[in-house]
Amino acid sequence: MSLRIAAALAVTIGAGIVMSSPAQARPELVGMRGAEYSPGTIVVKTGERRLYLILDSGRAMRYPVGVGRAGKQWSGTTRIDGKYLNPAWSPPREVKRDIPNMPDVIPGGSPKNPMGVAAMTLAGGEYAIHGTNRPGSVGGFVSYGCIRMLNADITDLYQRVSVGTTVVVTR
């Protein structure tokens, strides 16, 4: 391969990388071994920082997520008990204790609202699966226990599931 062709190829590949945006992630169809989860179940694997929507006994949609930081992680089975677009957010007591000057309510659509474009609340606590206005935080141990997704991904998942969907969180 000539130096000129190699340089042109490098510029083309580099332009493709620069023009792609991590905030435009899409769910990935992956194989899923075992039939331990019913189709329609959401499985969050905290250690992997991935959320899986089980499609059938061999396939799932996989999304990157941000999860609870050290001391804020949890595991168990719950269900979605509410779905909200552009939700307002009231910080839980623990967040207010750690950040006392935080407002009591942050309106939906505000760039300071940590819920992003959509949220699905989980039964039995103050947790949700939600979007974020900080896409760089997805993939990390970053929250007080919520499952944080890119806005494009929460929009996709929101359309695929309903209130009552089972959610299993594992470590």
Q: Where are the alpha helices (DSSP H) in 119-170?
A: 151-160
How far, in Å, are 14, 122, 133 from residue 169 at the CA level?
38, 11, 23
Tell me the backbone φ, ψ of residue 5, rounded to 5 degrees: -65, -45
List the one residue out of 69, 53, 55, 75 whose CA is nearest residue 143: 69
Place of tokens 């957010």: 89
Which positions are catalytic? 130, 146
